[in-house]
């Protein structure tokens, strides 16, 4: 019964997050909902008993979306005001709180209701995660490090491009000068 309820809840939340990603006009909202959708996908792995794949889903894919989010934040003017069109913010807050409470209850219900037994790893000397780590950091060490360097170069390139896009460095201005620039933008 728990698995069925959890499956339908996470399926609804995943489809909702990806729908927001597709249909929103705000790119930062789209990236946030994309990251949330990736986290909800990892819940399916946890429900199926593949904890390592669930953790990899969170670390790799959600981490990649967060790197994309960082690039998005670099290219948008963070000082411009965002006009929210939420008609009833209390209802949004209430629904978000209820959804968060349901997710927490779903994760804690099996811990409270049953005794948890440890599953034995495939190799009695090492666990499955240790075997994956051993292969990753021995046989595939060079591609792993090359990917890390490529991500670092991409992040530095994004920072440089974002800095060239700005006419004025906001970090060197006083608050009065920033207010004056914002007033000029509004005109």
> Domain with 18 in it: what CATH number?
1.20.120.1200
Number of domains present in the structure of the chain: 2
* Structural contact between residues 28 and 72, judged by C-beta atoms closer than 8 angstroms: yes
Distances (CA, A) of 10 to 5, 13, 37, 60, 174: 9, 5, 9, 20, 47
66-104 pLDDT, tens digit each: 777 777 776 665 545 556 677 787 888 888 889 888 877
Residue 145 lies in a domain: yes
Together in a domain, 134 and 182: yes
* 174-to-79, 80, 91, 179, 186 alpha-carbon distances in Å: 14, 16, 38, 9, 19
Q: Say if residue 155 is in the same domain as residue 81.
A: no
The answer as to whether 91 is a domain residue is no
CA 105 from centroid of its chain's CA atoms: 21
106 in a structural domain: no
Entry pTM: 0.51
Which residue, 59, 85, 111, sits at the end of a domain? Answer: 85
Q: Is the same domain home to 81 and 130?
A: no
Q: Report pLDDT digits (tens) over 152-168.
A: 887 777 777 666 656 65
Domain of 138? 125-187
């Amino acid at each position: 019964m728990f698995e069925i309820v959890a499956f339908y809840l996470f399926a609804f939340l995943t489809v909702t997050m990806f729908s927001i990603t597709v249909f929103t006009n705000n790119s930062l909202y789209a990236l946030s909902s994309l990251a949330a959708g990736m986290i909800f996908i990892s819940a399916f792995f946890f429900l199926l008993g593949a904890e390592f794949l669930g953790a990899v889903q969170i670390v790799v894919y959600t981490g990649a979306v967060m790197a994309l989010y960082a690039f998005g934040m670099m290219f948008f003017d963070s000082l411009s005001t965002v006009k929210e069109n939420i008609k009833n913010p209390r209802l949004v807050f209430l629904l978000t709180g209820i959804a968060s409470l349901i997710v927490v209850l779903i994760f804690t219900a099996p811990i409270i209701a049953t005794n948890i037994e440890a599953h034995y790893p495939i190799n009695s000397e090492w666990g499955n995660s240790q075997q994956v780590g051993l292969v990753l950091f021995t046989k595939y060490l060079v591609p792993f490090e090359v990917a890390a360097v490529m991500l670092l170069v991409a992040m530095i390139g994004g920072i440089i491009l974002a800095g060239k896009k700005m006419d004025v460095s906001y970090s060197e201005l006083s608050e009065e000068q920033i207010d004056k620039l914002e007033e000029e933008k509004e005109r």
